[in-house]
Amino acid sequence: MNILIWHVHGSWTRAFVQGPHRYLLPALPDRGPDGLGRGRTFTWPASVTELSPMLLRDAPVDLVVLQRPHEAALAECWLGGRRPGRDLPAVYVEHNTPDGHVPLTRHPCADRDDLRGVTLVHVTHFNQLFWDSGTAPTTVVEHGVVDPGHLYTGELDRAAVVVNDPVPRGRATGTDLLPALSRAAPLDVFGLRTEGLAAYLGLSGDRLCRAELPQARLHAEMARRRLYLHPVRWTSLGLSLLEAMHLGMPVVGLATTEAVEAVPEGAGVLSTRPDVLARAARTYLREPGAAAEDGARARRAALERYGLGRFLDDWERLLAEVTR
């Protein structure tokens, strides 16, 4: 099939385009959010093709993958009036948890006449549970990760944290918990727009360092740290957590959202008590052998539940259903 999809979430899109289809990614000269095109930090398959809106107008498209509320109208405009869900099969992938008054938050797809016939695909069961999707048909296709390999060495007595925009996102990403946790284990924070984080939190450089690395280098650097710290209060399920598990890293994280399903017993420590997380981090720093053993269990669990093969198989079944 020819599948139109925007490059919105890099790691998820990289996994999705490993399938057997031709993937059409809108590309604009400014490489803005609506025209990012192919990923630049990893090699993507040759089946991923960049197309300008002008070329999309007459392009053969068999399926549209929507991921943001405005994309339905954008697709109809760029595809010469062909409407997703009416003229073309379509799915809407929801990557995020709801904001606002969470128990009552309505999904943008809920009861929309222009999206009748569009299946809403959640990336976690947590998402499906918390979004009010109205009468929209919903399903779950859990995450899959392109395996970076068992790279773990744990040679550095430090914890890796991966987060984008930690200052503006604040409590949602657990940024406020980092000062106390940094007293248990020095932190290396990887991610976009982390400049000034140590000063913002009042931490010295030896307790919190930050680095903005391309993904091609990120995994190897993460794997040198003794453990992966996941202090996130509110998210769907960070792909960086699953990537850390694939690397063979033990996890220390908040027992919130889908993390309680993703990290089984023996693969790390989850708790809603920051003092328990701090104690677990100190234990891993003292006992590198135990950290490696728990990391190996984390990798086995991640490969079993979040492996790329299972992810692509699930998507193939869903695509066959919605295009039948």
Q: Which of 141, 73, 87 is nearest to 117 (CA)?
A: 87
Q: Report pLDDT for 46.
A: 95
Structure confidence at residue 114 (pLDDT): 82
Cα 142 to Cα 211: distance, rounded to the nearest angstrom: 29
pLDDT in the model for residue 115: 85
The residue among 128, 104, 114, 150 whose CA lies nearest residue 245 is 150
Whether the Cβ atoms of residue 298 and residue 248 lie closer than 8 Å to each other: yes
CB 95 within 8 A of CB 5: no
pLDDT at residue 83 in the model: 94
- What's the confidence (pLDDT) of residue 112? 83
pLDDT on residue 186: 97
**pLDDT, one tens digit for every residue, the chain (324 residues):** 999 999 999 899 999 999 999 999 999 999 999 999 998 878 899 999 999 999 999 999 999 999 999 999 999 999 999 999 999 999 999 999 998 788 889 998 988 888 888 999 999 999 999 999 998 999 999 999 999 999 999 999 999 999 999 999 999 999 999 999 999 999 999 998 999 999 999 998 889 998 888 887 999 999 999 999 999 999 999 899 999 999 999 999 999 999 999 999 999 999 999 999 999 999 999 999 999 999 999 999 999 999 999 999 999 999 999 998
User: How far is residue 180's CA from residue 316's CA, in Å, rounded to a whole number?
Assistant: 45
Please name the residue that has the structure tokens 């549970």: 129
Please say whether the beta carbons of 226 and 159 come within 8 A.
yes
pLDDT at 216: 78
CB 90 within 8 A of CB 114: no
Which pairs with CB-CB distance under 8 Å and at least 24 residues apart come from 96-99? 96/127, 96/235, 96/236, 97/126, 97/127, 97/130, 97/131, 97/234, 97/235, 97/236, 97/257, 98/130, 98/131
3-state secondary structure of 48: strand
Indicate left, alpha or beta for 241 from its phi (over 0: left) and psi (-120 to 50: alpha).
alpha
- What are the CA-CA distances from residue 67 to residues 29, 91, 129 (Å)? 21, 8, 18
- pLDDT for 49 equals 95
Q: What is the pLDDT of residues 2-42, one digit of tens each?
A: 999 999 998 999 999 999 999 999 999 999 999 999 988 78
